[in-house]
């Protein structure tokens, strides 16, 4: 496993309840700011194995990115169960819930 992948996993595991991070924000904190799509791949392939809170990762617009209706509803319900309120059907007020981490820790 690459150093980048390890860092991404640790960062996602550390997102607290009721907070979110964007794919790009995670990539930047892990040391590769242009690797947001790689964060998507890591989430897709390693969420179960590492128990990642995948639902806390959203796109840079503050939106749930899933097009699949079932996955969209699942992610939205999980976020709402943590107290996150949406301002439209797909998006939440990013500034209210964005978790800013110290990338020096990872």
Domain hosting 48: range is 3-98
Taking each helix axis from N to C end, the angle separating 36-50 and 3-13, rounded to the nearest 10 degrees, works out to 70
Is residue 25 included in any domain, yes or no?
A: yes
**pLDDT values of the chain reduced to their tens digit, one per residue, 106 residues:** 899 999 999 999 999 999 999 999 999 999 999 999 999 999 999 999 999 999 999 999 999 988 899 999 999 999 999 999 999 999 999 999 999 886 555 5
User: Rounded to a whole number, what is the distance in angstroms from the first to the last CA of the chain?
Assistant: 15
Q: Residue 105 domain-assigned? A: no
Give a yes or no: residue 46 inside a domain.
yes
What is the sign of the dihedral through the CA atoms of 101, 71, 95 and 84? negative
Domain count, the chain: 1
CATH of the domain at 67: 1.10.10.10
Residue 42: Cβ within 10 Å count: 28
Q: What is the pTM of this model?
A: 0.91
Asked whether residue 58 is domain-assigned, the answer is yes
CA atoms within 13 A on the CB side of 73: 3
């Amino acid at each position: 496993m690459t150093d980048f992948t390890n860092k991404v996993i640790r960062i996602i595991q550390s997102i607290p309840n009721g907070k979110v991070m964007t794919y790009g924000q995670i990539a930047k904190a892990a040391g590769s700011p242009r690797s947001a799509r790689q964060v998507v791949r890591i989430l897709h392939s390693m969420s179960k194995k590492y128990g990642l809170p995948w639902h806390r990762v959203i796109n840079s617009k503050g939106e749930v990115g899933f097009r699949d209706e079932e996955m969209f509803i699942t992610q939205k319900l999980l976020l709402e169960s943590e107290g996150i309120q949406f301002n439209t059907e797909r998006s939440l007020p990013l500034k209210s819930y964005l978790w800013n981490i110290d990338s020096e820790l990872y």
